[in-house]
Amino acid sequence: MTDDLAELRAETDAALAACADLRAWDVVRVSVLGRNGRLTALLKELGKTPAEQRRERGAALNRLKDALAEAIESRRIALEAAELETRLAAERLDPSLPPRPMPGGLIHPISRTMEEMAAIFGAMGFEIAEGPDVETDWHNFSALNIPAHHPARDDQDTFYLTAPAGAPPPVLRTHTSPVQIRTMLERPLPLRVIVPGRTYRADHDATHSPMFHQCEGLVIDRDITLAHLKGCLIDFLRAFFAAPNLPVRFRASYFPFTEPSMEVDIGWDRKSGELGKGSDWLEILGSGMVHPRVLANVGIDPRAWQGFAFGMGIERVTMLKHGIPDLRPFYESDIRWLRHYGFNPLAPAMLHEGA
């Protein structure tokens, strides 16, 4: 190799070694192999070489070109690998790092209870159904076997809206039970639904709010019996209150839309408020076998299909489960109360935790 070629080789090697990143590398590459690069210039000058030396010089230049191209390429590979290493090191993820506390935003206890109910009943094959807050008199009362002037309407003295002339006034639904009617009219049988949602009654004191929440349940199938109702509700209550031996009592009662009807009580200690302890009973929900007349009202043959239904107050079970003493702060949006009783949105209700 002649001196000038050896010099180009040595200088290129040094320049490649000195470049710290791909941008510097590209400058070196262009300065050697580019259109105005040093090697390109030497190749262009080959024509001026005296004929007797041209062959040898040409061969030497070609060998140098191959060697330089290879050196440049291997430097590129090395630089790319180094850049990847640096990025991987900088972007390293530490899976043991605990989640940062949420700057704000917690799940309201009402929503949490609804999620837990969805998790527990979901595992039993229930779907969620919804209906409007503004109901027709028929869905809220008549179809549920509560005719006009029936004394059961007094319990649900409520908010009526202005009616179109001649029609019964629409009503803010007094319970989630009208969604039983809607679901039976809309969905194919058999069906299993729960209906968590808002309800309204003209009541306002320390334990009643004009707007509150209920969760309805409805199962319609062939050969459904009281045993299904009892098994389902006992399982639910024990899972919800995370108390595997929670005493549950079924007490005969009356609802116009079920026959027979039962109030469901759980065992607790009135003094300490502890659930599953002591010898007192606490009423938790209403339930019963769907009244044949209700089935007939939506065109279902009561001799072919039976079902059970239940309804419970969401605030009430939430207060019991979490030891919340007062109903009113549920709706006051007091950030201190929400921080105290709210739930981490990153830890949703899951059945395997006993909800």
Candidates 54-62, 264-272, 280-288, 315-323: pick the segment binding ligand DAH (CB under 6 A). Answer: 280-288
Residue from 216, 316, 330, 343 touching ligand DAH (CB under 6 A): that is: 216
- Out of 126, 141, 310, 330, which residue is the one contacting ligand DAH (CB under 6 A)? 310
The only residue of 111, 113, 136, 177 in contact with ligand DAH, by rule CB under 6 A: 177
Q: Which one among 286, 295, 317, 319 touches ligand DAH, defined by CB under 6 A?
A: 286
# binding residues, ligand DAH (CB under 6 A): 11
At its nearest, how many Å lie between ligand DAH and the CB of residue 207?
15
Q: Smallest Cα–Cα separation from 275: which of 321, 220, 221?
A: 321
309 binds ligand DAH, rule: CB under 6 A = yes
Main-chain dihedrals φ then ψ at residue 131, nearest 5 degrees: -150, 175
**Least separation in angstroms between CB 203 and ligand DAH:** 12
Closest distance between ligand DAH and the C-beta of residue 252, in Å?
A: 13
Stretch that binds ligand DAH, among 48-56, 129-137, 308-316, 324-332 (CB under 6 A): 308-316
Nearer to ligand DAH, 64 or 171 (CB): 171
Q: Does residue 255 interact with ligand DAH by CB under 6 A?
A: yes
Is 140 near ligand DAH (CB under 6 A)?
A: no
Q: Which is nearer to ligand DAH, 327 or 338 (CB)?
A: 327
**Within positions 31 to 60, which residues make up the interface with ligand DAH, using CB under 6 A?**
none
Distance of CA 268 to the CA centre of its chain: 33
The piece of 187-195, 203-211, 233-241, 286-294 that touches ligand DAH (CB under 6 A) is 286-294
Work out which of 131, 288, 307, 342 binds ligand DAH, going by CB under 6 A. 288
The nearer residue to ligand DAH, 131 or 288, going by C-beta atoms, is 288
Spell out the residues 6+ positions from residue 199 whose beta carbon is closer than 8 angstroms to its own. Answer: 173, 174, 175, 176, 211, 212, 213, 214
Near ligand DAH by CB under 6 A: residue from 287, 297, 306, 318:
287
Which residue, judged by CB position, is nearest to ligand DAH in the bound state?
311
Whose Cβ is closer to ligand DAH: residue 141's or residue 268's?
Answer: 141
Q: Which two tokens stand for residue 90?
A: 């900088």
Which is nearer to ligand DAH, 42 or 146 (by Cβ)?
146
Q: For residue 163, what are the contacts with CB-CB under 8 A and spacing of at least 6?
A: 169, 170
Nearer to ligand DAH, 126 or 255 (CB): 255
Q: Does 175 bind ligand DAH (CB under 6 A)?
A: yes
Q: Does 183 bind ligand DAH (CB under 6 A)?
A: no
SS (H, E, C) the chain: CCHHHHHHHHHHHHHHHHCCCHHHHHHHHHHHHCCCCHHHHHHHHHHHCCHHHHHHHHHHHHHHHHHHHHHHHHHHHHHHHHHHHHHHHHCCCCCCCCCCCCCCCCECHHHHHHHHHHHHHHHCCCEECCCCCEECHHHHCHHHCCCCCCCHHHHCCCCECCCCCCCCCCEECCCCCHHHHHHHHHCCCCEEEEEEEEEECCCCECCECCEEEEEEEEEEECCCCHHHHHHHHHHHHHHHCCCCCCCEEEEEEEECCEEEEEEEEEEECCCCCCECCCCEEEEEEEEEEECHHHHHHCCCCCCCCEEEEEEEEHHHHHHHHHCCCCCHHHHCCCHHHHHHHCECCCCCCCHHHCC
Q: Pick the stretch among 14-22, 45-53, 63-71, 285-293 that binds ligand DAH (CB under 6 A).
A: 285-293
Residues binding ligand DAH (CB under 6 A): 175, 177, 216, 255, 258, 286-288, 309-311
